[in-house]
Amino acid sequence: MPPDAPLLEFHDVSVAYGGRPEIWNVDLTIDRACLFGIIGPNGAGKSTLLKAALGLVPLVGGSVRFHGEPIDRVRRDVGYVPQRETVDWDFPVTVMDVVLMGTYARLGWFRRPGSREQTLARESLARVGLADLATRQIGRLSGGQQQRVFLARALAQDAGIYLLDEPMAGVDAASQEQIFAVLTELRAADKLVVVVHHDLRTAAAWFDRVALIDRRLVAAGPTAAVLTPDNLRRTYAGEIDLLQEVGQAIAARGRTE
Amino acid sequence: MLATTTIVADLVRQLAGDRVRVESLMAAGVDPHSYKATPRDADRLAAADLVVASGLGLEGKLAELLTRLGRRGHVVTVTEQLPEEDLLSVGGGRFDPHVWFDCGLWKRCVPTVAEALVKLDPAGAEEIRARAAAFVAALDEVDAQVRGRLAAIPDGRRVLVTAHDAFQYFGRAYGIEVVGVQGTNTESEAGLGDINRLVDLLVEREIPVVFLETSVSDRNVRALLEGAAARGHEVQLGGRLYSDALGGPGSGAETLAGALLANVDTIVAGLGGSLVAGRP
Amino acid sequence: MTGTWLPYNTLVVAAGVAAVGLAAGVVGSFTLLRKRPLVGDAAAHATLAGVAGAFLVSGRRDLPMLLAGALAAAVAGLAALVLIRRFTKTRDDAATALVVGVGFGAGIVLVSGITARGIPDGAGLETFLLGHTAALTAADATLLAAVSIAAVAVVLLILKEATLVAFDAEFAAATGWPVTLIDLVLVTLVAVMVVVGLPAAGAVLVTALVVIPPLAARQWTERVTTMLVLAGGFGLTAAVAGVAVTSRVPGLATGPVVVLAAAAIFAVSLVFAPRRGLLARRQEARRGRAAEEHRP
């Protein structure tokens, strides 16, 4: 691993679905552990950017590197929290079963999770506050609980970089706070946490650095520097009220730092 | 002229001689119960001067096609003039179609074909009628031979077990009890209950031989053998009988007479003679 | 050992069909969880092309040869399904219909070509698809049992991988699992079960055994392993019940009765299962309404 390689680097990344461009020419470098937000309007390609990093969608141009390596070499070190809609929650598995899935990659083929994996899974569940729901079938959880299960699964991966796709979408406020607390812990443990996020107000309050995406990279860097009225106008053309609230949030944060 | 089965083709050839070219739609070894016509077959049938069918539901899958052709006066059904009281019923208003192994019954199909041939070829009327009479006489001769040879089977052994029920008329005419694994139509699958019942029959009556057929699969018969063997009763395979089709060229069974006599020899060898020599 | 109470043929058929029922239930559970229950249908219809092709190539009506052809065609058809799903936007049901149509259509063309040319022994190849359940020999039953055990063993071996892919294929891919490969393995198991089950129950009936017992099992449990056990058990029970009934009654084909037994098990499961059953749901709805009404 090259000594000075950034944690995560998007170099001239372009993705197209069936001829339609989703994102193009995105150059983004994250070189230190932090809470990094990817912000933008609906359909801006934020999730696509994450999936491109994980190799889940093909790139028509550019490359993504983790510590200078392609994703296939470092999958063990990248935790993933996909959107909740990607699974059928009626599936016959319990909370514990799902969290254990985070340990599968390290186990490899054919081996069953043992006590080591069970312990890791239980610890992960405790961190997200779901320890006593371990045996519940996942369909009988609230949205916030489901989101936390996915987070616990990623924690069980025991990775150095975490990619989360809209983890706060449709989640009650209490769960959101809980999730955010876990993310802060991760950052304190010197992990990089990249979050695709939909809500500008909380984005302004939560993230150290952000990237504004509208199919292209509009701006990236420290939150206050990026979420300027000018940038926001360029990205969210037409959502004026929102901009005012955001401005206030930034100002509030500036006062407490 | 196009006959549906090889057996019917034989009948027509015997009567028509060289005057008409006769072809068989189905080849030797083909099962007429399940035969489906291809578009080429349909063309051939439509193009023939006359189509001769066996009837009584034997050509199950060709029924619609034959009915359509029949409306144009194009089709002769060999068995159409046989009176119902002489036929064996299989329930539901239908009859067993395997009439050809009863010489007495088959010869009563001759006039039907003869008349159709004469209508088609009036110039040859005399020859056709002469050949018809000769064929009837030949059938009588074969009939006598069959009876003679079958007499070699002792009374307690006159049970014929075959793959499907194609020999009921044969059995009725010549005094043999006949049991088929599948019913009169090979389209119906043999049930486990039927197999069990037959194994019981084989064991209780100590039947030593069962027979395969040229146009029907061996699977059911082999299952019977295993079942009987498991109960300590060894059953032999008696050879392959011609049931719904004649033999190919060179087999000696290209004509009905040939096939019938070949069958009889096979049956006699299995039930009456060499295979069971030494048993009390 | 066997007498008239438990006839030998009944025992042999029961063993063979029970093995198929068990394995079909287990393998079919994953196609159901993966939301592709019609995969067995696609495999079964493709086998006709394989059987006809094998016959043409070998010139003989040799059972192992025909089954090999059937297997090749089934695997090809299912691989096509997996790849269509992977590389195009075609929906699963449309893709299945495509494979069924092409496979079966090709099969019919080949079979009628064979009968038209009067190739000896070529008649009735399509009846291969119907099965001769009652005529299973000991050798047949042994083969069925061996393949069934092997199929179940493979499923147990990759239980966690298959569950992961069925539940969250995206996460599986993200964490480095070869999703397409695992799909292909599961789909090949279905193909093998269908092909091996051809003589026992016929193609159409095997696909019923791949779909119905898992559906019934799903009603009773929220754990994957329990579902596998139940599905296998239901498949086996249906097989034994079907064989038992047709063993005594003449004139009933065994295969269809087995499927009817499976359907009966499903009907009971649909109505009476706790929590997911219709009765249970109605009770819960009633309790919910009562609670609503009693709120202050």
Parse chain B into domains and list their residue ranges.
2-145, 152-276
Tokens 């014929």: give the residue: B160
Residue contact C4–B217, C-beta within 8 A:
no
Q: Which of A226, A170, A175 is nearest to A198 (CA)?
A: A170
The answer to whether residue B73 scores a pLDDT higher than 70 is yes
Q: Name all domains of chain A by residue range, CATH numbers in brackets.
A: 8-256 (3.40.50.300)
C-alpha–C-alpha distance, residues B201 and B161, integer Å: 10
pLDDT range class, residue A256, cuts 50, 70, 90: low
- Domains B2-145 and B152-276 belong to one CATH topology: yes
How many CB pairs (< 8 A) connect A and C? Answer: 72
Q: What is the mean pLDDT of chain C?
A: 86
The answer to whether C276 touches C215, Cβ cutoff 8 Å, is no
> Rounded mean pLDDT of C223-243?
95
CB of B188 closer than 8 Å to CB of B182: yes
- Please list, in sequence order, all residues whose beta carbon lies within 8 angstroms of the beta carbon of residue B273, skipping any fewer than 6 positions away: B152
Range A175-179 average pLDDT = 91
CA distance B107 to B87: 14
Length of chain C: 296
Measured from the Cβ of residue A177, the count of other Cβ atoms closer than 10 Å reads 12
Distance between CA atoms of residues C128 and B251, nearest Å: 28
CB atoms within 10 A of CB B254: 18
Name the more confident of A107 and A233: A107
pLDDT surpassing 90 at residue A38: yes
Strand B75-77: give its sheet, edge to edge. Answer: B23-24, B2-3, B51-53, B75-77
Instruction: Provide the β-strand partners of residue B89.
Output: B95
* pLDDT one-digit tens code per residue, C15-40: 999 999 999 999 999 999 988 878 87
d(CA C1, CA B274): 32
Instruction: Tell me: pLDDT of A3 over 70.
Output: no
pLDDT in tens, C244-257: 998 888 778 888 89
The whole-angstrom distance between residue C268's C-alpha and the CA centroid of its chain comes to 20
pLDDT at residue A238, as a whole number = 56
DSSP state of A133: G
Residue A226 has pLDDT above 60, yes or no: yes
pLDDT in tens, B182-217: 777 776 777 888 888 888 888 888 888 888 887 777
Partner-chain contact C176 A91, CB within 8 Å: no
The subunits that touch chain C, with at least 3 C-beta pairs less than 8 Å apart, are A, B
CB-CB contact of C213 with C21 (8 Å): yes
CA distance B245 to B248: 9
- Give the per-residue pLDDT at A146: 95
Nearest to A13 by CA among A67, A42, A54, A41: A54
Pairing state between β A8-17 and A20-30 = antiparallel
Q: What is the pTM of this model?
A: 0.81
Q: Where are the domains of chain C?
A: 8-293
**8 Å CB contact of B227 and C135:** no
pLDDT at C2 over 70: no
What pLDDT score does B276 carry? 43
Q: How many helices (H) and strands (E) does chain A have?
A: 11, 9
Helix (H, G, I), strand (E, B) or coil at C20: helix
Distance CA B265, CA B274 (A): 11
* Chain C residues touching A137 at Cβ < 8 A: 222
As a whole number, mean pLDDT of residues A80-95 equals 94
- What residues of B are in contact with residue C137 (Cβ under 8 Å)? 219, 222-223, 226
Q: What DSSP letter does each residue of A96-113 carry, written as one string?
A: HHHHHGGGHHHH-SSPPP
CA distances from B210 to B97, B166, B268 (A): 22, 14, 12
Distance, CA of C71 to CA of C82 (rounded, Å): 16
Q: Which is higher by pLDDT, B186 or A101?
A: A101
The encoded tokens of residue A163 equal 């990619």
Q: What is the pLDDT of residue A240?
A: 57
Q: Do C173 and A113 touch (CB under 8 A)?
A: no
- How far CA C24 is from CA of C124, C189, C210, in Å, comes to 26, 9, 5
Q: Write down the residue that tokens 């291809």 correspond to.
A: B38
Is the Cβ of A19 closer than 8 Å to some Cβ of chain C? no
Residue A232 has pLDDT above 90, yes or no: no
Return the CATH architecture of domain B2-145: 3-Layer(aba) Sandwich (3.40)
Closest Cα in chain B, distance from residue C120 (Å): 7
SS3 state of residue A90 = coil
State both tokens at C225.
């392993």
ipTM of the predicted structure? 0.90
Helix axes C8-33, C39-58, angle to 10 degrees: 120
Return phi, psi of residue A238, to 5°: 100, 0
Residue C134 DSSP label: G
pLDDT of residue C43: 83
Residue of C nearest to B218 (CA): C135
Q: pLDDT: is C74 or A156 the higher one? A: A156
Over 50: is that where the pLDDT of B275 sits? no
Q: Does the structure show a pLDDT above 70 at B75?
A: yes
Q: Which residues of A225-235 are buried (b: 16+ CB within 10 A; e: fewer)?
A: ebbbeebbeeb
C-beta atoms of A87 and C176 within 8 A? no
CA atoms within 13 A on the CB side of B193: 14
Residue of chain A whose alpha carbon sits nearest to that of C162: A110
Is the predicted pLDDT of residue A19 greater than 50, yes or no? yes
Residue of A nearest to C179 (CA): A56
To 5 degrees, how large is the angle CA C100–CA C73–CA B189? Answer: 75
Which residue in the set C157, C160, C168 is minimally distant from A87, CB to CB?
Answer: C168
C99 CA: distance to closest CA in chain B (Å): 24
Question: Contact, C219 vs C31, CB < 8 A?
Answer: no
CB atoms < 10 A from the CB of C82, how many?
20
Chain A contact present for C221, CB below 8 A = yes
C204 vs chain B: nearest CA distance in angstroms? Answer: 15
In this complex, is the C-beta atom of C87 within 8 Å of any C-beta atom belonging to chain A? no
User: pLDDT value at position C140?
Assistant: 85
Mutate to test the interface with A, among C222, C228, C276, C281 (most CBs of A within 10 A): C222
d(CA C200, CA C132): 6
Question: What confidence tens digit (pLDDT) does each residue in C111-148 have?
Answer: 877 766 666 666 667 666 777 778 888 888 998 899 99
Of residues C229 and B158, more confidently modeled: C229
pLDDT at C119: 67
Name the superfamily (CATH) of residues B152-276.
Nitrogenase molybdenum iron protein domain (3.40.50.1980)
- Give the Cβ contact number of residue C27 at 10 Å: 32
B222: chain C residues, CB-CB within 8 Å: 135, 137
The string of pLDDT tens digits covering residues C142-190 is: 988 999 999 999 999 999 999 999 999 999 999 999 998 998 898 889 8
Is residue A20 helix, strand or coil? strand
For chain A, percent of residues with pLDDT exceeding 70: 94
Q: Of A56, A78, A86, which has the smallest distance from its Cβ to C168's Cβ?
A: A86
Contact C164 A101 (CB under 8 A): yes
Class of CATH domain C8-293: mainly alpha
Flag if C135 and B190 touch (Cβ within 8 Å).
yes
Phi then psi for A37, rounded to 5 degrees?
Answer: -105, 140
Q: Could you tell me which chains touch chain A, where touching means 3 or more CB pairs under 8 A?
A: C
